[in-house]
Amino acid sequence: MTEIERSSRNNLEGIGGWLNPSRYGWERISYWFQRLTGVFLLIYFIGHVYETSTIVNGQNAWESFLELTQTGWGHLFLIMVIGASTFHSANGIRLIFTHVGIGLGTPGRPDYPYSPASLNYRQKSGIWIALILAAAAMFYGFNVLFGV
C-alpha cells in the first residue's frame, strides 16, 4: 500500500475522536468501551504480575501488598476489573464472530431510507448482552466483596 507522509496539518481527529462515541450509535460506544476496558485490563495485568511477584520477597511482603486490595478502594478497583473483563470478553466474542462474517447479514440492493445490514439487531443485542453481563458480574462482585 502507499506509504503516506504524516503531516502536522492532517486535521486528524486522533484519540480525541474516541472521546465522544455517542455521535455514531451503539457500535461506536462498544468500540470505545472495548478499547477502554482493554487498556484498563492491560494496566491491571501489569499490576497483577508485579503483585504476585512480591511473593519472592517472602510471605510478609506478599501479605502487605495483598492488603491493598482489602480496602474499600481496593474492592472497588476489583469490581471494576470484574466488569471490564466480563464486557471485554463478551463483546470480544461478538467481534470475533463479525470478523469472520457471522451475524452481519448479506449484501443486497439498498433502498432509501438506508439501514446498514451490518448494524443490525443481532449486533445491538450482542452489545447489550455484553453490557448486562458486565453489570451483573459487577453486582455479584459487589455482593461478595462488600458482603451486602
Partner 1 sequence: MIMSNTAENKNEKKIRLKVYRENRGQDSGSHYDTFEVPYKKWTTVLDALLYVKSYMDPSVAIRYSCRMASCGSCGMKINGIPKLACYTKISELETSTIECEPLPNFPIIRDLVTDFSRFFDHHKSMHPYIEAKESSVDDTRKGTFSFYQSPEDVDKYLQFSYCIKCGLCYSACPTVGTDVNFPGPQALAQQYRYFADTRDESAKRLDIVDDRHGIWRCHFAGSCSKVCPKGVDPALGIQLLKSYMLGISKNDKVPAKKIEVESIDNRYNSSAKTE
The CA–CA distances, whole Å, from 134 to 79, 83, 114, 127, 139 equal 10, 5, 32, 11, 9
With binding defined as CB under 8 A, does residue 10 bind partner 1? yes
Find the binding residues for partner 1 in span 86-105 (CB under 8 A). 95, 98-102, 104-105
Q: Which is nearer to partner 1, 127 or 134 (CB)?
A: 127
With binding defined as CB under 8 A, does residue 50 bind partner 1? no
Orientation angle between helical segments 26-53 and 121-146, nearest 10 degrees: 40
Can you tell me the distance from the alpha carbon of 78 to that of 64, in angstroms, rounded to the nearest whole number?
Answer: 17
With binding defined as CB under 8 A, does residue 28 bind partner 1? yes
Q: Which is nearer to partner 1, 2 or 60 (CB)?
A: 2
As measured in angstroms, the least distance from the Cβ of 89 to partner 1 is 16
Q: Which is nearer to partner 1, 27 or 51 (CB)?
A: 27
The CA–CA distances, whole Å, from 11 to 5, 20, 66, 120, 134 equal 14, 17, 47, 31, 36
Helical segments of 26-117, H only? 26-53, 59-66, 72-99
State whether residue 120 is helix, strand or coil: coil
As measured in angstroms, the least distance from the Cβ of 118 to partner 1 is 4
Binding site for partner 1 (CB under 8 A): 1-4, 6-7, 9-15, 17-18, 20, 23-25, 27-28, 31, 34, 95, 98-102, 104-105, 107-112, 114-119, 123
